Structure 1
């Protein structure tokens, strides 16, 4: 009987196409990832996410049973799921600017346009690992901080307490 190896770099791929999921798994293995699970519909992906912790979820926008944006919103709202805070990389074959913004606003961490190469996937994984973003929980949004960079406004640009009171 085969034993399941769980590593600290576990990745769940959720794509309606077994061929695409397999191709992404091959890319991940070429990047040194070994603990890879595949799921082909929304229900199975949610079962996997409830079963064990993952470091990254790679999800297709067109997932069987639920689209990727709706799935992301459901996962981010699921207070009892251990993977609620997991970084999510969403893939889509033909996204427009509105769809990418919808994914970002649902709580997606990174986005990939299909087709993509292993180096594009590596760039997103490196970004997630080297620049982790805080998790925001607000009335209208739950997910990673959407701001990608911090801007230092300097001391001269800060308001004094008196200016703050005058502005209010």
Structure 2
């Protein structure tokens, strides 16, 4: 019997919908994830992160009282702890360009649109594992490198050098 690449992972699922928490947990367990933690909103997730550091976080965008955007922003704002660099997959039914750009700009690693499927979740997990992006810390941004190109860009609009962690 072959082992799952996800077997050793610990994943935190943050969603205010009991249905979505259960669905994500079931899909993750079917993929071989042994350790799945659940939180009903960003506040509960931040409290849980005081005692555990998962390998990955999957969060819904629209939750109350603290939504996924605020949660991710607060997580990325933590200084001096590896906790702030945990990959985050955001799940949302709001897939307009403004929402996706907002997620990108606060440091979301991957974006997964609803309705989700086992395949789409698997693809995002593999993307995080097989193609991890360097973590960037700049005055106006902290999170995974937003560029996905493997080749360097040389040109008039090239950004200045930033610190890679």
TM-score range, shorter chain: 0.7 to 0.9
Structure 1 residue runs of 4+, over 2 Å off?
none
User: How many Å apart are 1:48 and its aligned residue?
Assistant: 1.4
User: How many Å apart are 1:52 and its aligned residue?
Assistant: 1.0
Aligned to 2:4: none
Secondary structure at 1:120 match in 2: helix
Aligned to 2:110: 110
RMSD over aligned Cα atoms: 1.7
Q: TM-score, normalised by structure 2?
A: 0.84
Unpaired segments of 5 or more residues in structure 2?
1-6, 156-165
1:138-167 Cα distance to aligned partner (Å, 9 max, x none): 1100000001122257xxx89xxxxxxxxx
Unpaired segments of 5 or more residues in structure 1?
1-6, 159-168
- The whole-number CA distance in structure 2 between the counterparts of 1:50 and 1:83 is 9
Q: TM-score, normalised by structure 1?
A: 0.83
Aligned to 1:62: 62
Q: How many residues align?
A: 149
- The whole-number CA distance in structure 1 between the counterparts of 2:79 and 2:54 is 16
Secondary structure at 1:28 match in 2: helix
Instruction: Confirm or deny: 8 A CA contact 1:49 1:81 kept in the other structure.
Output: no
Aligned to 1:123: 123
Structure with greater proportional helix content: 1
Aligned to 1:142: 142
